[in-house]
Homo-oligomer: A and B are copies of this chain.
């Protein structure tokens, strides 16, 4: 069977890349691998480039974003780039006042706590994200051009994965006004004002979905939705208060029509959240090609929950990056063996790369995964 029989749409130049093939359910010759937060503070070349610029300014600088996005691809030899951004970037594009506080995270000048706040925010036309998305489009274009050049050097196509936060996680930040330990304010709003919560998360779905769609239309080959804090919800509350908006965000990408003469196929959609063990069956019910698995659940157990219709991605504990090499190697072998039961498996960490990681350990890890049989 041809890929095109199953999947109507994928960026042509990368459709035969190991990552996209695995995302769409095939088993390439070697297990593809990339790392969440591979572009970032663990790399000295990143720290040098970022010096003097704020995080959010950096995210709107196409030259900086594309260079940062490429750094780990060149250094580690990973199978994909992930678009360098921050989950609050689409909110900033929509005109919401937010800044990133070092050592803390995103902080909003006006938290969304009640009906009036929700009305103020949802009055913003989500189309604004698309209209102000010029720097994002430009950054993706530069990045895919640089990846094309790198693909020639490497002798294999290198796809770009688009990046966005899921509506629940964005809402959790907005409602708290910043990071929090247990996202109580978000759950409080769900119970206090379910209609307001729905309005807010549907709006966030349109913001986040358009941000992803921008990246796909500019040339990204896949999209990953990050619902970092979904694990703070029970399955019942996840189904009620998070899943519908995530579905709506993903639909923005699914509805993109491929250019008629592109020969392009379906854009694979991926999802990741932390502590989502008990949510995996619900997450897998979304219109996804790939479900990311965190390190708090054994991969074989995760497979039981997500089923065989999706590709799994994960799930080495980032703490293993600091373990003796032979301990890490044994764990990598175990995860690769568990992944063989899946439709397809993309190797990743079970969470982002810690800033204090030795980059050489990541490079060795890529080799280890590619050499595994």
Which A residues have a C-beta under 8 Å from some C-beta of B? 181-182, 184, 187-188, 190-192, 231-237, 274-275, 277-278, 295-298, 301, 317-320, 322-324, 327-328, 351, 354
Contacts and interface: CB of A to CB of B under 8 A. Distances in A.
18 contacts: A181-B181, A182-B274, A184-B318, A184-B354, A187-B317, A187-B319, A190-B319, A191-B319, A191-B320, A191-B328, A231-B275, A232-B296, A234-B295, A235-B298, A235-B301, A237-B317, A275-B275, A278-B296
Contact of A324 (B181, B192, B234, B277): B192
Contact of A322 (B191, B231, B233, B317): B191
Nearest to A235: B298
A234 B184 contact: no
Chain A interface mostly helix, strand, loop or mixed?
helix
A190 B327 CA distance: 11
A15 to B, nearest CB: 35
A363 to B, nearest CB: 19
A328 B188 CA distance: 11
Contacts of A324: 191-192
A265 B295 CA distance: 42
Nearest to A327: B191
Counted per complex, copies of this chain come to 2
A145 to B, nearest CB: 36
Contacts of A301: 235, 278
A184 B320 CA distance: 10
Contacts of A237: 317
A226 to B, nearest CB: 15
B192 A322 contact: yes
B182 A298 contact: no
Nearest to A318: B184
A318 B322 CA distance: 36
A298 B281 CA distance: 15
A233 B296 contact: yes
B191 A323 contact: yes
Nearest to A232: B296
Given A191-B327, A235-B298, A275-B296, 17 more contacts: A182-B274, A182-B351, A184-B319, A184-B354, A187-B319, A188-B319, A190-B319, A191-B319, A191-B324, A191-B328, A192-B322, A231-B275, A231-B296, A235-B301, A236-B298, A278-B278, A278-B296
Contacts of A234: 295-298, 317
Nearest to A331: B191
Which of A184, A296, A297, A320 has the most B CB atoms < 10 Å from its CB? A296
Which 3 pairs across A and B sit closest by C-beta, in order of nearness? A187-B319, A191-B323, A188-B322
A235 B277 CA distance: 11
Contacts of A320: 191
Contacts of A322: 188, 191-192
A184 B301 CA distance: 22
Contacts of A277: 277-278
Contacts of A274: 182
